[in-house]
Structure 1
Amino acid sequence: MFQHSSANSAEGNLIYAPKTTCYSRVLTADGYLNVHIKDIPNKYRRYAKDLGNTLINTRWRWILLTLTLGNGLAWLAFAFGWMCLAMYSGDNGKTDGQPDVCIVGTRHFTGYLLLSIETLTTIGFGEIYPADCLHSWWILALEAMAGVAIEGALVTAVYVKMSRPIKRVNGLLSKKGVVCMRDGRFCLVFRIYDQTGRYWTKSKIKAFMISGKNKRRSSSSPTTCSRSEEVFRMQKLQLEPCELLAGPVDIVHVITSRSPLWTLAASDFLLEGFEIVLTVNGDSATTGQPSEAKKSYTSRDIQWGCRFVPCVEFDENAGSYVVDFNRFNSTRMYATPLCSPAQLRHLISEIDRNDTYGRSSSAGTSFDK
């Protein structure tokens, strides 16, 4: 679905993807990959060969369904096995007191099903149990091993799915980004607050800008964009160091001449279709478990000429800092030029050159006089 070109190519790092709507995220707002792969050769065979990853990546409803079906089919299969053993041994015409009875306490399928459930779940035997019969001990051993295999595999899949590094980003990253002036420079700012401590150790934050344009349109109508191919350019944004995530922290990208945002003005954020993806990696300070989170921002999720409202205050009575999470996503207007950083630098250069030329002309006239 995605094809990455060489990093040394003239076009940069390109991604080719078919476009099915007029505009769609490459990643969803929660950071899940918005890609559908179709026409995979031998798809179901590949899923069966890699059953572990298939279970881990599937949804919880399918894991619970697999757990139910796996146990149910095993109970029924071994119940039929117990019933066949009873028929083979001739238990239907015997009483429980006879010495050659293989299964004691039942002569019906429901009793064999109860015996199968008790054996597979290892909860012990009640009034229904296998007697001293050679074939019954073979079925008992096979069912015990099958129970360990089924429960062990599914419990492992559930544990790995719960503890895998990919986490949801609810409350971790701000809902919006802002562009404002900081120390005379344009800056793209996001906000992060790790309340659970999952990313406090070895914290790494990266940002990427994904921009694209239509390369080929299969529809004859110029207003239809149901089937077109779009070329995406992925570029990394350089972020200022951000190591300590104990409280709300601003993630800052200074827009320099090397930034892909250098030539974009305020109107371009409304007209241009680009996307910024943030990835957060780190280890839990409590358990040491690694975690990873992603979040996607479109160009319209970024507010031009705003700053985040401070949300940390010092409480003198408590003697500690207090975080007001209600203001975590709040912004306020801030005086910011509407032109692009490149245009602003060019304008300042023109003004400085005119001032320098004016001073030189004035000084020369005074000297001639």
Structure 2
Amino acid sequence: MMAGVIFAKLARPIKRAATLLFSKHAVICMRDGKLCLLFRVGDMRKSSLAEAHVRLQMIKKCVTLEGELLPFHQFDMDVGYDSGLDRVFVIWPITICHEINECSPLYEMSKDMLAHARFEIIAILEGVAESVGSTTQARTSYLPNEILWGQRFEKLVTYQRENGEYRIDFSKFHNVVDVYTPTCSAKELDDLRARGIYDENGYLLSPQLSVTDSFGNDDENKAITKNGLTQVVIQADEDDDDERRVSGIALSEMHQRRRSFLCSPSPDAELRRKQSVQVRRGPDLF
């Protein structure tokens, strides 16, 4: 009996959880046309976790309709529970994605509001350690000042043609790069879409571009600005006085280039984008 107790204690996967990594920061950026909260998880050991899955919860103060104060209310944050994308195979670092939609507690959160918000997001990674067959769990949390708006994670997996292998550079695990991201909330973006003044191709996977809020003296061109940054450029259709349409969103230095390189997507491109949204929503490789 004593031998069994000793074996059970030694077999506990305590040190296994220490090899599971979370990124130091979470980021908010555009993915498939949606504002998303992203963070990274990785496993330093060669033996991967079995049945690994991720959960995400927000803890914040809440007041009920009856006026009851709940100081530490828990909100579930979807990372693909219904589609099974919360179950991950951590053979290399994985980027976990939470889409900020109408069901998300971050739906009405803008960049300015995030700077003054009070909440904590708990990220939990659970799985079965193959070596001992016991469940292990690793946790971390993100405060508002640890969530970077307008950033994305740097790529750390590269393919080596000389030997046909993939190389993982864990020194870049926490690295982020700038990416152009609207500063308004996801709710405001949905309102822009409903009004037909949002270009789905407006935010590309690229370093942050400089934006100018001056567009000349043409009264037919109007800019929607927020905090001094141009968000949307509306151009009137000269052939139609009753209706106005959107021709694009200005993102680059218009005084120097004097052109917009964002156009309305073709029907084929729009169909491919919708199919991509359906397939890639949730945890993403690399």
The answer, yes or no, to whether TM exceeds 0.5 is yes
Report the Cα distance in structure 2 between the residues aligned to 1:264 and 1:179, rounded to whole angstroms.
11
Deviation at 1:214, TM superposition (A): 9.7
Higher strand share: 2
Per the alignment, residue 209 of structure 1 pairs with: 58
Report the TM-score, using the length of structure 2 for normalisation.
0.60
1:186 and 2:26 are equivalent in the alignment: no
Could you list the runs of 4 or more consecutive aligned residues of structure 1 that deviate by over 6 angstroms after TM superposition? 353-356
Question: How many residues get paired?
Answer: 198
Per the alignment, residue 235 of structure 1 pairs with: 75
- 1:197/1:212 Cα in 2 relative to 1: closer, same or farther (>3 Å)? farther
* Structure 1 unaligned spans of 5+: 1-148, 216-228, 364-369
Deviation at 1:243, TM superposition (A): 2.2
Structure 1 counterpart of 2:33, one-letter code: G
Report the Cα distance in structure 2 between the residues aligned to 1:198 and 1:297, rounded to whole angstroms.
27
- 1:359/1:156 Cα in 2 relative to 1: closer, same or farther (>3 Å)? farther
CA RMSD in angstroms, aligned pairs only: 3.2
| Correspondence for 2:178 among 328, 333, 348 | 333
Cα shift readout 1:333-369 (whole Å, capped 9, x = no counterpart): 100001100012113323459989x969369xxxxxx
Deviation at 1:304, TM superposition (A): 0.5
- Higher Rg: 1
* Structure 2 unaligned spans of 5+: 199-233, 245-286
Report the Cα distance in structure 2 between the residues aligned to 1:349 and 1:291, rounded to whole angstroms.
45
| Correspondence for 1:361 among 242, 246, 262 | 242
For residue 111 of structure 2, give the secondary structure of its aligned residue in structure 1. coil
Per the alignment, residue 109 of structure 2 pairs with: 264
Deviation at 1:195, TM superposition (A): 2.0
How does 1:44-123 map onto structure 2 within 5 Å?
Answer: none
- 1:348/1:362 Cα in 2 relative to 1: closer, same or farther (>3 Å)? closer
How does 1:299-318 map onto structure 2 within 5 Å?
Answer: 299-318=144-163
Report the Cα distance in structure 2 between the residues aligned to 1:322 and 1:205, rounded to whole angstroms.
24
Answer whether contact 1:207 1:239 (CA < 8 A) is retained: yes
For residue 277 of structure 1, give the secondary structure of its aligned residue in structure 2. strand
Report the Cα distance in structure 2 between the residues aligned to 1:197 and 1:278, rounded to whole angstroms.
23
Cα shift readout 1:245-296 (whole Å, capped 9, x = no counterpart): 1101111111111111101011222101111111111112344232111111
For residue 361 of structure 1, give the secondary structure of its aligned residue in structure 2. coil
Per the alignment, residue 195 of structure 1 pairs with: 44
Report the Cα distance in structure 1 between the residues aligned to 2:15 and 2:77, rounded to whole angstroms.
22
- 1:313/1:233 Cα in 2 relative to 1: closer, same or farther (>3 Å)? same
Report the Cα distance in structure 1 between the residues aligned to 2:48 and 2:240, rounded to whole angstroms.
56
Cα shift readout 1:87-118 (whole Å, capped 9, x = no counterpart): xxxxxxxxxxxxxxxxxxxxxxxxxxxxxxxx
Report the Cα distance in structure 1 between the residues aligned to 2:125 and 2:168, rounded to whole angstroms.
21
How does 1:343-358 map onto structure 2 within 5 Å?
Answer: 343-352=188-197
Per the alignment, residue 297 of structure 1 pairs with: 142
Per the alignment, residue 30 of structure 1 pairs with: none
For residue 336 of structure 1, give the secondary structure of its aligned residue in structure 2. coil
| Correspondence for 1:244 among 83, 89, 94 | 89
1:282 and 2:163 are equivalent in the alignment: no
For residue 342 of structure 1, give the secondary structure of its aligned residue in structure 2. helix
Structure 2 counterpart of 1:349, one-letter code: A
Report the TM-score, using the length of structure 1 for normalisation.
0.48
Answer whether contact 1:200 1:245 (CA < 8 A) is retained: yes
